[in-house]
Chain A
Amino acid sequence: GQQVMQIPQYQHVQEGEDFTTYCNSSTTLSNIQWYKQRPGGHPVFLIQLVKSGEVKKQKRLTFQFGEAKKNSSLHITATQTTDVGTYFCAGETGTASKLTFGTGTRLQVTL
């Protein structure tokens, strides 16, 4: 079945440093979504990418969808302590909604 892997599993950065998490699917995706889960919280939708090579920005967050639509990345510029949490990608294939979530990257930011 479809698998979605994320790397790294965990990253610890100093506040102000950049952070990137990578998402790789074993199959071509129709779209990819990103979610953030704060410690003790629940996943919250961040963004959806649909087109090959698409790049979207939300303030300090930049999301990319690969040309082959099998990988994606989330880059955070100048991290802040509010960025702490686990970031999940979730991909869809086919014509019906069935998101396959990635393994997640846990981000820790210290002063």
Chain B
Amino acid sequence: ETGVTQTPRHLVMGMTNKKSLKCEQHLGHNAMYWYKQSAKKPLELMFVYSLEERVENNSVPSRFSPECPNSSHLFLHLHTLQPEDSALYLCASSQGTGVGEKLFFGSGTQLSVL
């Protein structure tokens, strides 16, 4: 148990569906992240939040919409996704966003878009 909980663990959705991924961290950290992990590709940073403010949006399509209501919770709202969006979506947290912060990852949501 890393202290970062993600739900659901698995999600299958059609291209016209709307769904949300949830992440909660119990570590008292101030920064939270969304990463995308596709087969045979490096982990891709999608969004960074520091103290509930979005500090990084890594050219992610608008069909992915993050929300950070407080420093412990992070959501990723999904709508009109494409099959190529199928991947493992990992949430992570860190104490801050300075250099040298180590990331604590959740177990991920395995997303399949049909």
A-B contacts at CB below 8 angstroms, number: 59
Query: Which residues of the partner chain A approach B90 to less than 8 Å between Cβ atoms?
Result: 42-43
Q: Is A41 an interface position by the 8 A CB rule?
A: yes
On whether the beta carbons of B42 and A96 are closer than 8 Å, the reply is: no
Give the CA-CA distance A42 to B43 in the complex, in Å. Answer: 11
Contact of A97 among B43, B100, B108 (CB under 8 A): B100
On whether the beta carbons of A101 and B96 are closer than 8 Å, the reply is: no
Known: A41-B107, A42-B90, A42-B106. A97 touches B98 (CB 8 A): yes
Q: How many residues of B are counted as interface, with CB atoms below 8 angstroms from the partner's CB atoms?
A: 23
Query: Which residues of the partner chain B approach A88 to less than 8 Å between Cβ atoms?
Result: 42-43
Q: Is A50 an interface position by the 8 A CB rule?
A: yes
Query: Which residues of the partner chain A approach B97 to less than 8 Å between Cβ atoms?
Result: 96-97
Q: Which residue of A lies closest to B102 (CB)?
A: A45
Query: Which residues of the partner chain B approach A95 to less than 8 Å between Cβ atoms?
Result: 98-99
Please provide the chain B residues from 21 to 40 with a CB less than 8 Å away from any CB of chain A in the complex: 31
A sample of 23 inter-chain contacts (CB < 8 A) reads A4-B42, A31-B100, A33-B103, A42-B90, A42-B105, A42-B106, A42-B107, A43-B43, A43-B103, A44-B2, A45-B103, A48-B102, A50-B100, A92-B100, A96-B97, A97-B48, A97-B100, A97-B101, A98-B56, A99-B103, A101-B42, A103-B41, A103-B42
Give the CA-CA distance A30 to B99 in the complex, in Å. Answer: 8
CB of A29 to closest CB in B, whole Å: 10
Q: Is A94 an interface position by the 8 A CB rule?
A: yes
Known: A42-B108, A44-B105. A97 touches B42 (CB 8 A): no
CB of B60 to closest CB in A, whole Å: 15
Query: Which residues of the partner chain B approach A85 to less than 8 Å between Cβ atoms?
Result: none
Q: Which residue of B lies closest to A5 (CB)?
A: B42
- The 8 A-B pairs at the shortest CB distance, nearest first, are namely A101-B43, A42-B105, A45-B102, A101-B42, A97-B97, A97-B101, A43-B105, A103-B42
On whether the beta carbons of B96 and A97 are closer than 8 Å, the reply is: yes
Q: Which residue of A lies closest to B41 (CB)?
A: A103
